[in-house]
Structure 1
Amino acid sequence: MSNERRAARMRTVRAVILLVVTVVALAAWVWLAVARGGYWRTDQRLPAATPPERWPDLAVVVPARDEAAVLAATVPALVHQEYPGVARVVLVDDGSTDGTADVARTLAAGAPLPLTVVEPGEPPPGWTGKLWALHAGVRAAGDAELFLFTDADIAHRPGSLRALVTAAGSRDLVSQMARLRVETGWERLVVPAFVYFFALLYPFRWVNRPGARTAAAAGGCVLVRRAALDAAGGIPAVRDAVIDDVALGRAVKRAGGRIWLGLGDLVHSVRPYPGLGPLWRMVSRSAFPQLHYSVPLLAGTVLGLALLFLVPPAAVVAGLVTASTATLVLGGAGWLLSAALFLPMLRYYRQPAPLAVLLPLIATLYGAMTVDSALQYARGRNAAWKGRTYPRT
């Protein structure tokens, strides 16, 4: 066989392989669109319900570590909430060095809802700092029937507590994915995809279905009944979880509780992410733990990201270069479908639709963050938050 014929044959083989992989990628996107619980939809919002005849006693637990800079935007909104029943706020100062406790007391002085500051000290071995803080808050909350776990950077709009408790109804856990900040260029590029990928992993409709195995929660805003929390083993049952919100949602659902997860309209985060670095650390901190520290799962995730997000645009380029209509059309269909599924999340965050075509680039960033998370773990650098390292599990 001549060199020319051999080269032509290799080109044909490569073209066929690319065409097959492109078909697989397109089929995967079609499957995600129709069989992944409608993960791409943004209609899971706080359910409307009839207000309870008796408003249960409520304790709002706020874990805070060096959060003095954001408290002015969040604490007043909490302590001035109108709640028909008995409610109180417990802020747990988790070893802060910036005067978080004093700032919180000053901001809450004279407010309708009383604020108590608890300082439990350093977490014992085997505990993450946030979960130790939540445990301390629960213990300090007295006989509250409901707990609202909400992060120090989460601002609640007026009526948030009433809406949450009303929506709970017969549910045991209600959680809202707070609307994250999208003001800088990097926030606009990365944040909507962060929520989109979370929904892809944990389709909200599946989470909210009582018979489904999928369970999760969003840690910025979690309302849970004391009885359901106790049935799940309390905070100690998930004390070493890096992804504490998902672990808590799973624990409550496994114990027979009804849970609900959706997008938040009454809660938003005020935490700024001025550049790529803080966003990178936010994602990489939990990426490898999300994969259960598994190298095979890491490899599968990277390959899956490449198949879904890189193959379609690569096929478009190859189809243009080689004048292969089939490769061009199939690659374009996969790319357009992926963009279409991302559009609802962009609309939710009020971002321009053309950003949807950049999803392959954004996914590549997330893949790099995930690999970096694994590399940091392999080097002995566990996930950390504000100077404290999570336990190695």
Structure 2
Amino acid sequence: MIPYGRQLIEADDIAAVAEALQADFLTTGPLVDRFEAAFAEAVGAKHAVACANGTAALHLAMLALDLQPDEHVVVPSITFLATANCARYVGGEVIFADVDPDTGLMTPDALRDALRRPGVGKVRAVLPVHLRGDACDLPGLAGVARDAGAVLVEDAPHALGTTMTFGNQTETVGDVRHSAMATFSFHPVKTIATGEGGMVTTSDPAIAERLRVMRSHGMVRPQGCEPWWYEMPEPGFNYRLPDILCALGLSQLAKLPRFAARRREIAKRYETALAPLAPLVRPAASPGWSDPVLHLMTVLIDFQAAGRTRLEVVEALKARGVGSQVHYIPVHRQPYYRARYGPLELPGAEAWYARCLTLPLYPGMADEDVATVVAALKEALGL
């Protein structure tokens, strides 16, 4: 079976974890600081704060902003549940924005439309999602957010290693030139894996300090007190990332250039192999400013023209040993959010969802696996 995503764990990764298991600290030790420093350097950020997972990273970001119950956060409807849920964890309200139907990305125009919707209150943050690994228009979104009195928090678990060019300036996802924070995930199907794990990058030292306090129960140690003394001005959470997982993260992060190059190579092979299937099947579009390290190889399929349902295609692929997935069901459709905010008309999100299917993409794929997947897709579509 060729899965849609899979970690690549090698002998040196295992050795790094084994060494960490024999060290004095299994958690809250020196490997956490080392992983944070290495990650900050890799993406060009001033500060990086490790945490338990990508959802925890988003939750901590909302806590660091001190999001209040009467404040709103704008998120694209095409994303994973956690992007919206992080605002609700702290009592904030969610505004769902539409997306470009061909890229799946929130655009400045879609953000403006969301902000004009009746009933929108004070907007504190906008959470663009770098879907699949493609970068959003960060300068454009930041300008619209700034006019609304809000800041950007990039939801970037898909986009580690992605670069972008705005004007003549090359930037890296996570360097937070246009945002208050960027969040990452190290789930096994992501670009690097720690099993579970997350990271928040920021250029603001005060935000970085608050992230660290809130990931560890809200405890602080005032200067001049006894060495055992701690205080809790407000409750935090146990969102720490253990040294064992940081050891794996450090080993994986050293391979980021190789992993990124391999993902780009596989994506190019897909583009070539899929070209004869256009316009029935085509890869999701990439905006001109984005040079992605794709986390997801998402194709857009005209299932109606093919005379096949998506379920039929998924099952036919599975029968041929190929895994697939759908990214994502529009979050505004979820029962909780429909009950809270009522039905929404977001045609871009609906058009994306109606056509999207994610095919296998991970560094351990062989070149011939791409041909196998595309051949299976052709058969599944009756081509």
Considering the TM-score relative to the shorter chain, is it more than 0.5? no
Higher CA-based Rg: 1
Greater helix proportion: 1
- Which has the bigger relative contact order, CA under 8 A and spacing at least 6? 2
Q: Under a length normalisation based on structure 1, what TM-score does the superposition of the two structures give?
A: 0.26
